[in-house]
Structure 1
Amino acid sequence: MTGPAALALGAAPLGNLFTAVTDEQAYDTVHTAWRQGIRSFDTAPHYGLGLSERRLGAALREHPRDAFTVSTKVGRRLEPSDGTGDDLANGFAVPATLRRVWDFSADGIRRTIEGSLERLGLDRVDTVYLHDADDHEEAAFRDGYPALEKLRSEGVVGAIGAGMNQSEMLTRFVRDTDVDVVLCAGRYTLLDQSALDALLPAAQERGVQVVIGGAFNSGLLADPKPGSTYNYAAAPAELLDRALRLKETAERHGTTLRAAALAFCAAHPAVPSVLVGARSAAEVEDCAEQFRTPVPAAFWQELRDTGLLPPGVPGLPA
C-alpha cells in the first residue's frame, strides 16, 4: 500500500444502532462525511435489518457512482418475519419486520448481495465481506469464500474479504485464500494490538489490505471515564486506568486521545483506511477534525518509554 490511510464512514449507526436516528439525521451524516472528503462507506444487511443500506444508498444517490466506494457484507440473509416488536435484542431500534438467517451458501450469498444492491439502489458494490463468521468457520471457508471468489471473477463484485472482531480467523483468510482485503474491528488500537501478532505481518507479506474499525474500542478511547464501554461492555478498571493515562499523555503533548487513537490505526503500512461509525453530522465533523490533528513524534516515544505501547510498532514516528 502507498500513501496515507483515509478516513471511511461506518454506517451501522444509520441503522438505528441502540437508539433511533431520523432519515434527515442519517442524510446529514452522510452529506457531512462527503463534505469532509470521505469517499468510502461501509454498511451491512445486519445493520438495522437493511435500514442502514437504504439510508446510505439514498444519501449517496446524488453523487457520481465512480466518485465513491461502498462495502457491504454477507452471511446474514434477511427474510420476511411475522414477528412483532423491535430488534433491540440484536442492538437495533427498528421494527422486527425481517429476520436474519445465517447463510454462507453460494445461493444465499448471491441472494444477499442482490438484496443489498436493491436496498442501496446501486448496480454494484466495490467490496463484499463475509460477516462475523466466528461460529461458522467451516461454512465460510467451504462455501462462502468460493462463492465470493466466483462472483468476483464474474465482475458482480469488486474486492472480496472478511470482516470480524477478531484477528485469528482473519489471518487464516489472508494466508489460505486470495482475499483482497479484511476488516478487523477493535484488534488494532491503542489498547489492543493483537492484530500485530500474525494478521498484519501476514497481510503485508501477501499484499492484502487491512481496513481497521473500532479505533475507539466502542467508546473507551473516545472519552475514558467511569462507565465507559470497551468492546460494548463496561470497561474493566485496569483498561480504564490505561486509557486515562493515554489521554493525559496526549493532552500533555498538545493533542487529543481521539486523534492519537485514529492516527495509531492509520499509521500501519498495511492499512488503507480507518472506519469510524457516526450517527450525526457533529460526530462526523469531530472525527474528521481529529483525523487531521497532528500527533507529535514525542508522544509515541513517551508511550514506548512508559510501556503504554510496545516497541517497534510499524509506521509510527521513531
Structure 2
Amino acid sequence: MERRRLGSSPVEVTTLSFGGAAIGGLFAPVSDADATAAVRRARERGIGYFDTAPHYGAGRGERRMGAALTAASAGAAPAAAYVLSTKVGRIIVPLGPGEPPEEEGFADPPPYKRVWDWSADGIRRSLEESLERLGADHVDVVYLHDPDGHEEEVYATAYPALAALRDEGVVGAIGAGMNQTPMLTRFVERLDLDVVLCAGRYTLLDRSAEEDLFPACVRRGTSVVAGGVFNSGLLAGGTTYDYAPAPPELLERVARLERICAGHGVPLRAAALRFPLRHPVVASVLVGCRSAAEVDDNCDLFELDIPEALWEEL
C-alpha cells in the first residue's frame, strides 16, 4: 500500500489507515477477540497506520489497540513496521463513589471519566498514561484532540508542550484533530504542525475543507489525514449525517450520488473512501473497523479501479 509523508516529519503513513474508535465500542459493543482480529487483518492487508485516543471507550480503545498490535505484529518483518498515533487533551480518571459511567457514545463504558487538561503537565501525563495503556514505549504521532472550547489553552500551554515532545524526539510528528475547519485552519497558520486530522469536512457531501483548511495546509506544508469520510454513515448506506438523522435533501443527494456511481459500476462507498486522496495535501484516509470482515470490506473497496469519468461526473 502506498505511503505518504506527514509534512516535513520523518513519519510516513499508508494511504488507508485504521481508526480506533470502533474497537473502543463506539455506538455498539465489540469483544476483545473481534478487536484483535480486526487489527490483525488490517496488518495482513497492508494497513500500516493505526490511530487511537484516550477518549475512545475511556481508555478501552487504547488498551485493545496496544494488545492487538502486539499480537498481530509477533514475528512480523521489520519492513512491516506500523505507525501509531494517539491524542492528548483528556485525562482518564476513575469514577468517584456513586458517579455514573460516562457513555459519550461508547457502549458498556468502563468505570472511568474524562477530564479536560491542556496544561503542559497534563499533555505529558496524558501521553505517559496512553503509552502505559498501549503497552508501548513510544507513539509516532500525537494530536491535540477536540480543543473546540480550549483554543487559548492550546496556544498558551498545550502546543508548546507538544512541540517540546517533538523537539526532544519523543514523538515524530504532532498535529490536531477536530470535526471543524476554522480552528484547524488557525492552528495551521499560527503553529508548526506536521498534520491535521480533519473529520467529515472533506467528503463527497461536504467539501468545506477546500475553502480554508486545505489552502492553509498547502502554504504551510502541513499534511491532512481525512476521517469521517462516510459522514457518520450516510455515504455507507446509513441514514445518519454527522451523528444525527439526515435531512431529506441530503438523502436525495446521496441517492443521486449512488445513481452516478452505479452508472460506472462503482459502489458509492468505494468512491467515498478514495475521494479525499485526490487532493494532494491528503496523506491518508482513516476509517474505523470493528471486525476482520469490515477490514476486508474496506480494503476491497479501497483497491477498486475507479474511472476518471466517474470523478468528473461526480
Shared fold (TM-score greater than 0.5)? Answer: yes
Q: Is the 8 A contact 2:203 2:231 kept in 1?
A: yes
Structure 2 residue matching 1:92: 3-state secondary structure: coil
**Whole-angstrom distance in 2 between the partners of 1:95 and 1:237:** 33
Residue 176 (structure 1) aligned with residue 185 (structure 2): no
- Return the match for 2:102 from 58, 63, 87: 87
Counterpart AA for 1:293: L
Cα distance, 1:94 vs structure 2: 3.0
Cα distance, 1:157 vs structure 2: 1.5
Provide closer, same or farther for how the CA distance between residues 95 and 299 of structure 1 changes in structure 2, counting only shifts above 3 A. Answer: closer
Residue 131 (structure 1) aligned with residue 145 (structure 2): yes
Matches within 5 A, 1:220-259: 220-224=234-238, 228-259=239-270
**Whole-angstrom distance in 2 between the partners of 1:295 and 1:168:** 32
Counterpart AA for 1:87: E
1:311 equivalent in structure 2: none
Structure 2 residue matching 1:262: 3-state secondary structure: helix
Unaligned runs of 5+ in 1: 304-318
- Return the match for 2:278 from 257, 264, 267: 267
Cα distance, 1:267 vs structure 2: 1.3
Provide closer, same or farther for how the CA distance between residues 10 and 4 of structure 1 changes in structure 2, counting only shifts above 3 A. Answer: closer
Aligned positions, number: 299
Normalising by structure 2, we get a TM-score of: 0.92
**Whole-angstrom distance in 2 between the partners of 1:95 and 1:160:** 29
Unaligned runs of 5+ in 2: 6-11
Q: Is the 8 A contact 1:163 1:182 kept in 2?
A: yes
Residue 54 (structure 1) aligned with residue 63 (structure 2): yes
Q: Is the 8 A contact 1:87 1:93 kept in 2?
A: no
1:198 equivalent in structure 2: 212
Q: Is the 8 A contact 2:14 2:47 kept in 1?
A: no
Cα distance, 1:35 vs structure 2: 1.1
Cα distance, 1:87 vs structure 2: 3.0
2:181 equivalent in structure 1: 167
Cα distance, 1:56 vs structure 2: 0.6
Residue 143 (structure 1) aligned with residue 157 (structure 2): yes
- 93-102 vs 127-136, greater mean Cα deviation: 93-102
1:287 equivalent in structure 2: 298
Give the RMSD, CA atoms, in angstroms: 1.7
Identity value in percent = 57
**Whole-angstrom distance in 2 between the partners of 1:297 and 1:136:** 42
Cα distance, 1:84 vs structure 2: 5.0
**Whole-angstrom distance in 1 between the partners of 2:286 and 2:183:** 20
Cα distance, 1:278 vs structure 2: 1.1
1:314 equivalent in structure 2: none
Cα distance, 1:43 vs structure 2: 0.2
Q: Is the 8 A contact 1:259 1:294 kept in 2?
A: no
Q: Is the 8 A contact 1:15 1:52 kept in 2?
A: yes
Provide closer, same or farther for how the CA distance between residues 187 and 245 of structure 1 changes in structure 2, counting only shifts above 3 A. Answer: same
Counterpart AA for 1:80: P
